[in-house]
Amino acid sequence: MPETAETASGVAPFAGLPPPLAAALRLTSTLSPREGAAFHLLGLGYDNRSIAREMGLSERTVKRHVSAVLAKLGLESRLQAGLVALIMHSTSPAGAPWPEGRMAGPRLAADTTSTDPHMC
């Protein structure tokens, strides 16, 4: 019987995840450094244009990297790739660096000083 990776508690580290996401987590080490960077930015919610700007690449090149990420990880969508990237971050050691993404901008932060009645 083949051995499986288990945590100290004896539970498989990706137990409970849908099989495609668990499989993708195991395959992330197959990504090239550039694909890994694009994958990371997908997890932060970046679109291709933003990834291109951040990495100093053309959108066409980014599209190729994203396609390669999806193919190598066996995923069907950017959403799945983003979820896998977020799961990776949530299971990484405490204090591991994770830059703020586009979704963490001031527009979405709770603004308790606002007097606009339409702001929640």
Share of the chain above pLDDT 70, in %: 63
SS3 15: coil
76-113 pLDDT, tens digit per residue, is 999 999 999 988 877 766 555 544 544 443 333 344 44
- pTM over the 0.85 mark: no
Q: Is residue 111 part of a domain?
A: no
5 within a domain of the structure (yes/no): no
| pLDDT score, position 111 | 42
Name the residue range of residue 42's domain: 19-91
pLDDT class for 67, splitting at 50, 70, 90?
very high
Query: Which one, of 44, 34, 56, 37, lies nearest residue 100 by Cα?
Result: 44
The number of distinct structural domains making up the chain is 1
In a domain, 108, yes or no: no
State the sign of the Cα–Cα–Cα–Cα dihedral 75, 4, 29, 40. positive
Q: Looking at residues 3-21, what average pLDDT do you find?
A: 60
